[in-house]
Amino acid sequence: MAASGGMGLLPPDIERLVAVITFYMVVSLSIVFLNFSIFTKVVTLPVFVSWFQMVVSFALTNVFGRLGQRYESLSFWPPYSFNWNTATTILPLTLSYVGMITMNNVCLKYVAVSTYQVARSSTILFNLLLSRYLLHAEISVQAVYACVVVCLGIVAGALDPKSLTLLGLLTGTVGSLFWALYSVNVKKYLALVDGNQFVLLNYNLTWSCILFLPLIFLFQEHTGVVDIPTDPTDESFYQVWGAMVLSGVFGFMMNIAVFLVIKATSPLTFNIIGTVKATIQSLGGFLIFGDETNLQNITGIALCLVGSFWYGKAKQAQAQQERERLPTTTTDAEKKGLVMGEKDGKEMVIGRPSDEDNSSSVSTHVSSSDSPHKHQHHYTTVVGGTSKKTVGSVNPMSDSDEDEAADGDLDDPDVRKMKSLLGGRA
């Protein structure tokens, strides 16, 4: 039978989902391959190139912010704004953002493309440790086992110094630590910007354009910057600057791609996409860049991929179990010691006594704000008798991919979210 509409082989919603996943894969792989080529052949100054990419992305965010005020399809991108108090509060998060990009790009210069994923796989270990000791989150046994597999993969990869150098492994590990710090804390800072990750990106890019400058000197790349061609008549001028501009554009597109794919997929689907992307990336190192294959790096890559997928699956299962334990009715709430006000009223108080010795308690007070942002609320969290008020949002953009998890079923949740995301807006 002919497809409805006479053209597409798949339903429109599925076609959009496939398009988003394809866009993410192409952009994500392209920026790794392009950066590797730049750092090893064109401009061997990863920190300077990272700064230039920030400048290009900053310029593009301003352009898209203006276009978003004119065109409905780009209305999800807010106009550029800057508040000094907000910026100084966000600065610690930006420091981890800059550290992550710096170390990851330096790592890419000193490792093979095929083992780049291995060098950065320690992110999972740091994420688990920081979640446990900073957020006091429960860690499943399956997640711990997955981390052990990843660590074994890193050790196996390190046995091949040709494809995974010591400097590459060290910078990749530090970059993973910065990324774990960023991912653990980002949701807290999103509350400062009404949960809008693009506003947060604007602040990160603004600070990054400044913070990368001293790093260029710290890594002693300023001596190499003077060798970059500045004369348009130089035959290498357009190759060098064209490659750097292109990498900046791909870096900007990566922000859009991540936003789209997280909103369009469940955590399980996103985990599978990440594993497939890492596999293709490693294969690209062997097939495109001629990386040497041996037992050590193949074993390391395989263990890291399996461990990473296992860890994502374990986290998704844990999140699902936590959701199932939440009360679904007023009766359930009363049984669990929760007191709830009106759902749409001015106040809602939630409290639960400790299951152990009542030495600490957690309650949340939510009151409607008179702010023009109709979904904005003030959250007062009381922990052990102390309170802290923050401004947050129920905007779905503030949700992490674990918090908005579906069951991994492509048939219903993914399609619904895809329709809400792309329906007339993007």
Q: What is the DSSP string of 243-268?
A: HHHHHHHHHHHHHHHHHHHHHHS-HH
Residue 332 lies in a domain: no
- For residues 94 and 211, is the Cβ–Cβ distance under 8 A? yes
- For residues 329 and 313, is the Cβ–Cβ distance under 8 A? no
The reply to whether 353 and 314 lie within a common domain is no
DSSP 78: P
Residue 419 lies in a domain: no
Q: 215, 181, 240: which is closest to 39 by C-alpha?
A: 240
- For residues 415 and 265, is the Cβ–Cβ distance under 8 A? no
User: Cα–Cα distance between 301 and 150 in angstroms, integer?
Assistant: 9
The reply to whether 319 and 341 lie within a common domain is no
DSSP 4: T
Residue 241 lies in a domain: yes
The reply to whether 81 and 49 lie within a common domain is yes
In this predicted model, what pLDDT tens digit does every residue of 210-239 receive, in sequence order?
999 999 999 999 999 988 998 888 888 999
Q: If DSSP codes are grouped into helix, strand and coil, which group holds residue 284?
A: helix
Residue 425 lies in a domain: no
**pLDDT value for 367:** 36
- Tell me the helix, strand and coil percentages in the chain, rounded to 5: 65, 5, 30
The reply to whether 252 and 116 lie within a common domain is yes
Helices 141-158 and 123-133: angle between axes, nearest 10 degrees: 140
Q: What domain count does the chain have? A: 2
Residue 411 lies in a domain: no
242-262 core/surface letters (b: 16 or more CB in 10 A; e: else): ebbebbbbbbbbbbbbbbbbb
The reply to whether 134 and 218 lie within a common domain is yes
**pLDDT value for 368:** 35
**pLDDT value for 268:** 65
> What are the φ/ψ torsions at residue 71 (nearest 5 degrees)?
-120, 130
Per the structure block, which two tokens stand in for 137? Answer: 């989150």
Residue 423 lies in a domain: no
**pLDDT value for 153:** 84
Tokens 């596999």 belong to: 279
Q: Which of these three, 282, 298, 324, is where a domain ends? A: 324
In which domain, by residue range, is 343 found?
337-394
Q: Name the amino acid, one letter, at 422.
A: L
Q: Is the dihedral of CA 365, 371, 262, 305 positive or negative?
A: negative
* Diameter of the chain measured on Cα atoms: 77
Residue 6 lies in a domain: no
Q: 158, 45, 40, 119: which is closest to 282 by C-alpha?
A: 119
Give me the residues of the chain with pLDDT under 70, please: 1-10, 267-268, 327-426
The reply to whether 201 and 263 lie within a common domain is yes
Q: Which of these three, 281, 297, 324, is where a domain ends? A: 324
The reply to whether 115 and 193 lie within a common domain is yes
Q: If DSSP codes are grouped into helix, strand and coil, which group holds residue 382?
A: strand
The reply to whether 364 and 273 lie within a common domain is no
The reply to whether 233 and 282 lie within a common domain is yes
**pLDDT value for 392:** 35
User: Cα–Cα distance between 379 and 191 in angstroms, integer?
Assistant: 10
Residue 410 lies in a domain: no
